[in-house]
Structure 1
């Protein structure tokens, strides 16, 4: 009887081992499939699967264009616009001055675009490079590059510097802006 019981015990142990291995295999496979389908790097079905090559190429072309789309919104509402003759000491909070400077740069870009339609800054293009190119054979050909550097230094101070941007900085920026627009 002891031999019979030990044989049954061995078979039961082997069966439990096989079942445990089978369950672990099933759960591991499900987890792998779950993470594969949730992966953001690649879809579980290729884009354009089962369509003509020309349509697939068109879809790929349009998807590649998406990364180049950029938009630079206006930061202040039209009724919040700051003018050089308004009382800037009453502007609270002070970051509105910084936002006004960033918005005023778009006015200069529109002015340059009005002079020459081909000279338009694309969103994301470096402002310093764009304006310095306007000095060489552009609308600011007769302008002193030091004025443009001063203008850009004030712009970068307003946009990126953690130091305080005061009313004097804003007025200096607006003065140079008007000087550049009048050229």
Structure 2
């Protein structure tokens, strides 16, 4: 009878230890989460404002195709759109056959193709210098 009236029996001790460890784990998770949250706020990482605006030059490069005076859709080859796979296939046709433009250098078309591929699909840096090189090649092709 003394054992049944004992306030801290074996079952109660196990329950108190289980609840204590549960509270400890929950507090540990909460504190760790708060520390990481404040650390991410104070650090200037990928979520902070960065001074590099490469995406603007990528958009300018793709918009420059539309602004150029290259009549690549006039022959009926690619009438669908001015950008995308059609412009790339047009440049590849120019590089391989070079029928519409006899005087176009292969290096110029290769420079334009590399710039277009880097601006549209590349994951590397496409900054002001790459954009200017691409713009020069595009304007030189437009003059031809």
- Per the normalisation by structure 1, the TM-score is 0.42
Displacement of 1:92 in angstroms is 6.5
Comparing 152-161 with 91-100, greater Cα deviation is found at: 91-100
1:125 maps onto 2:85 in alignment: yes
Match of 1:94 among 44, 49, 54: 54
Q: 1:121 to 1:141 in 2, by over 3 A?
A: farther
Q: Distance in 1 between matches of 2:85 and 2:131?
A: 23
Q: 1:121 to 1:130 in 2, by over 3 A?
A: farther
Mind listing any 5+ residue stretches in structure 1 that lack a counterpart? 1-90
Q: Distance in 2 between matches of 1:131 and 1:97?
A: 21
Q: Secondary structure at the match of 1:112?
A: coil
Identify which of structures 1 and 2 has the higher relative contact order when contacts are C-alpha pairs closer than 8 Å and 6+ apart. Answer: 2
Q: Distance in 2 between matches of 1:121 and 1:149?
A: 23
Displacement of 1:165 in angstroms is 0.8
1:154 maps onto 2:112 in alignment: no
Q: Distance in 2 between matches of 1:167 and 1:159?
A: 15
For 1:105, the equivalent position in structure 2 comes to 65
Displacement of 1:161 in angstroms is 1.1
Q: Deviations over 1:27-76 (max 9, x none)?
A: xxxxxxxxxxxxxxxxxxxxxxxxxxxxxxxxxxxxxxxxxxxxxxxxxx
Q: 1:145 to 1:166 in 2, by over 3 A?
A: same
How many equivalent pairs are there?
90
Q: RMSD of the TM alignment (CA)?
A: 2.6
Mind listing any 5+ residue stretches in structure 2 that lack a counterpart? 1-50
- Per the normalisation by structure 2, the TM-score is 0.52
Displacement of 1:117 in angstroms is 4.4
For 1:175, the equivalent position in structure 2 comes to 136
Q: Deviations over 1:75-95 (max 9, x none)?
A: xxxxxxxxxxxxxxxx96331
